[in-house]
């Protein structure tokens, strides 16, 4: 049998085939997806679950004129394979290659970039309104699922779409999964919906759609159809939000999907429609189907066995160090609570949950709720740990400010994936948390330079009961530092001196400490001795040691893996307030550049960012050789 998929480079090629060919094309696309990800790594399970849906959507709708938006978009690899990117597909998630998510700059078939959750309905509603205002009749389709319907933003958008009666098609890809098993009342509602034997056959579904959209149906027939629809939807939710509900439908029956999409596309119905599909994450690949997370994210793997290649390391991951340290504290302190937003394995709280299931709360993709939920726990004397990736905590910034900081509540923020994260690229980089947290009154903000320091910061946070605290740590493995006992705490706002030198001081905040040491070794070969200090705290600053560095060195350079406005900016403000720059101190702040850095290896990304050891050494030499322009005197500033 000839492989039809090789003839399809664009959706226009797909539309040349007969409907009866689509099953074969779907099977071939699934095989191609497995082959690609086995070599590139990345998101597999979600893509396997939407193969038939991808084929049906591009077969029926006139993409890219019709706008197709994938929520989160980690399921977009099949979409990329048939939208002109097959020749580059094995560059996925590599430097200079294709993004692992949809990206507007990459293709006209990606009308909206996404890698965070629950944005599809809002963005497509904006497109639908724009088309109406422009008298454009093209369709707009949002595909949402994988837990994204647990976030409030999806319902805010649906409520707005229903009120506007916008012509918008929302496809609920219900696969009973997000990254982990789904949680919450919404998940139970959808499960109950499907358990009542109200599954529509192909003929019954078409009959319902035709009767619903036909101009000629009688008033009596219309009432009967409404009754049937209300029974199917539980009589509430989607219809109450103003959506016409269709489903649930088998999301792997490609010919059925095509027929339904054609009826919806060609109907005269005015207003938003929600098509509820039932799919299986990991569909068609046995190791994925049998895996607990359905092979959500994978490294390179052996197709025959499903065995993934793992990087070898003798040191534990920062995530595991966090989880195991928190477990030790929780064994002694019953007030400690673990909270995550649909990322139990990613944050290590799955390990915590095994020991303390009654003290672990996965709230779904709902970081805003997670933060205020933690604040409520804190008011009652508990010690909540909100374990959230840096990039996802951004969604809850108002709650961090208003519900936590303003009330000085002792919520502890464990900020995973701080700094640049490699293949996931700029959407998942933890670039801004130091800036957006250290500007807040009443906060303690820490960054671990190694796994031992992380343990000490967790220990310290347990004892902070009068204000919120946060500690950040990178993705990946530690450096091999010996882990301290859980009773070793830090003095709040106290830095540590790593090495003493002359003329040049490197003031590090976070996981660039090893690069500072390497830079110092490079400089020593040239006769330049450096003092190295691990700041530990961006807030409060160790003002005493910073002033000593400023007074006793010609050059002071801060290094951090964060954006402008963070640690270096606060140090600069302190020095400015104390008048230090009048003495002729040469100060530089090394931060992430004011650009979004595309995916690559973490090492290459830090090289691009100018935060590797060579860049640090070069910055020292460049600063030493620079001239002082504005210094008024050479008098030392006292504390």
Catalytic residue annotation: 281, 367, 395
Distance of CA 555 to the CA centre of its chain: 38
DSSP class of 494: -
For residues 346 and 434, what is the distance between their CA atoms, to the nearest angstrom? Answer: 21
Distance of CA 269 to the CA centre of its chain: 36
**What radius of gyration, in Å, describes the C-alpha atoms of the chain?**
27
How much of the chain is in helix, strand and coil states, percent to nearest 5? 45, 15, 40
Contacts of 87 (CB under 8 A, 6+ apart): none
Question: Hey, what are 353's tokens?
Answer: 């949950």
Question: Hey, what are 558's tokens?
Answer: 């801060």
For residues 628 and 624, what is the distance between their CA atoms, to the nearest angstrom? Answer: 10
Peptide bond into 400 cis (omega under 30): no
For residues 248 and 540, what is the distance between their CA atoms, to the nearest angstrom? Answer: 54
Spatial CA neighbour of 429 closest among 116, 187, 132: 116
For residues 346 and 331, what is the distance between their CA atoms, to the nearest angstrom? Answer: 22
For residues 353 and 362, what is the distance between their CA atoms, to the nearest angstrom? Answer: 10
Question: Hey, what are 162's tokens?
Answer: 């229903």
Cβ–Cβ < 8 Å for 375, 413: no
Query: How many residues appear in the chain?
Result: 639
Q: Is the dihedral of CA 284, 287, 288, 294 positive or negative?
A: positive
Angle between helices 202-213 and 254-266 (to 10 degrees): 0
Report phi then psi at 38, rounded to 5.
-60, -25
Spatial CA neighbour of 370 closest among 320, 378, 467: 378
Specify the long-range contacts of residues 399-403, CB closer than 8 Å, at least 24 apart.
Answer: 399/368, 399/371, 399/372, 399/375, 400/371, 400/436, 400/437, 400/440, 400/468, 401/440, 403/371, 403/372, 403/375
For residues 412 and 418, what is the distance between their CA atoms, to the nearest angstrom? Answer: 16
321 strand-pairing partners:
none
Distance of CA 252 to the CA centre of its chain: 28
Spatial CA neighbour of 431 closest among 339, 565, 534, 535: 565
For residues 11 and 33, what is the distance between their CA atoms, to the nearest angstrom? Answer: 17
Alpha carbon separation from 629 to 578, 584, 585, 623, 625 (Å, rounded): 19, 8, 11, 13, 13
Cβ–Cβ < 8 Å for 478, 450: yes
């Amino acid at each position: 049998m000839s492989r039809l998929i090789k003839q399809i480079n664009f959706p226009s090629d797909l539309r040349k085939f007969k409907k009866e060919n689509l099953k074969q094309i779907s099977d071939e696309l699934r095989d191609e997806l497995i082959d690609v990800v086995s070599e590139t790594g990345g998101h597999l399970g979600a893509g396997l679950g939407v193969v038939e849906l991808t084929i049906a959507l591009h077969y029926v709708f006139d993409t890219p004129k019709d706008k197709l938006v994938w929520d989160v978009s980690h399921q977009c690899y099949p979409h990329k394979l048939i939208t002109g990117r097959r020749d580059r597909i094995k560059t996925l998630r590599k430097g200079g290659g294709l993004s692992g998510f949809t990206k507007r700059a990459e293709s006209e078939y990606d009308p909206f970039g996404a890698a965070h959750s629950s944005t599809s309905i809002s963005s497509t509603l904006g497109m639908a309104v724009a088309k109406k205002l422009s008298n454009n009749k093209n369709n707009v389709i949002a595909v949402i699922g994988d837990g994204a319907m647990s976030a409030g933003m999806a319902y805010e958008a649906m409520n707005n779409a229903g009120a506007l009666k916008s012509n918008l098609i929302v496809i609920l890809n219900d696969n009973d999964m997000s990254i982990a098993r789904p949680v919450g009342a919404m998940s139970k509602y959808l499960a109950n919906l499907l358990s009542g034997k109200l599954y529509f056959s192909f003929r019954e579904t078409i009959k319902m759609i035709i009767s619903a959209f036909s101009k000629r149906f009688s008033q009596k027939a219309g009432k009967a159809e409404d009754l049937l629809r209300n029974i199917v939807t539980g009589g509430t939710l989607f219809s109450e939000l103003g959506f016409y509900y269709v489903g649930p439908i088998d999301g792997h029956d490609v010919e059925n999907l095509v027929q339904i999409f054609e009826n919806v596309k060609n109907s005269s119905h005015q207003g938003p429609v929600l098509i509820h599909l039932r799919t299986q994450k990991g569909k068609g690949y046995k190791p994925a189907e049998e895996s607990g997370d359905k092979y959500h994210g994978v490294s390179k793997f052996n197709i025959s066995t499903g065995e993934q290649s793992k990087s070898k390391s003798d040191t534990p991951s920062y995530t595991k160090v966090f989880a195991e340290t928190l477990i030790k504290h929780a064994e002694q302190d019953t007030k400690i609570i673990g909270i995550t937003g649909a990322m139990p394995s990613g944050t290590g709280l799955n390990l915590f949950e095994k020991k303390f299931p009654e003290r672990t709360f996965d709230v779904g993709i709902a970081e805003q709720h997670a933060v205020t939920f933690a604040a409520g726990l804190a008011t009652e004397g508990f010690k909540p740990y909100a374990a959230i990736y840096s990039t996802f905590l951004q969604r809850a910034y108002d709650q961090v400010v208003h519900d936590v900081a303003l009330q000085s509540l002792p919520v502890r923020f464990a900020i995973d994936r701080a700094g640049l994260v490699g293949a996931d690229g700029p959407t998942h980089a933890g670039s801004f948390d130091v800036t957006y947290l250290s500007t807040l009154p009443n906060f303690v903000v820490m960054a671990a330079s190694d796994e031992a320091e992380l343990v000490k910061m967790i220990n310290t946070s347990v004892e902070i009961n009068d204000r919120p605290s946060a500690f950040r740590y990178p993705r990946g493995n530690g450096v091999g530092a010996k882990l301290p006992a859980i009773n070793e705490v830090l003095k709040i706002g106290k830095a540590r001196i790593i090495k003493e030198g002359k003329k040049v001081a490197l003031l590090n905040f976070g996981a660039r400490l090893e690069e500072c040491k390497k830079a110092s070794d490079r400089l020593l070969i040239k006769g330049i001795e450096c003092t190295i200090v691990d700041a530990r705290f961006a807030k409060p600053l160790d003002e005493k040691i910073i002033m000593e560095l400023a007074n006793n060195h010609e050059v002071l350079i801060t290094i951090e893996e964060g954006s402008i406005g963070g640690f270096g900016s606060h140090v600069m403000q302190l020095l400015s307030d104390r008048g230090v720059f009048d003495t002729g101190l040469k100060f530089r702040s090394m931060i992430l550049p004011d650009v979004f850095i595309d995916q690559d290896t973490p090492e290459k990304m830090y090289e691009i960012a100018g935060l590797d050891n060579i860049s640090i050494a070069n910055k020292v030499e460049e600063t030493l050789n620079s001239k002082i322009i504005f210094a008024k005197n050479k008098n030392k500033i006292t504390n």
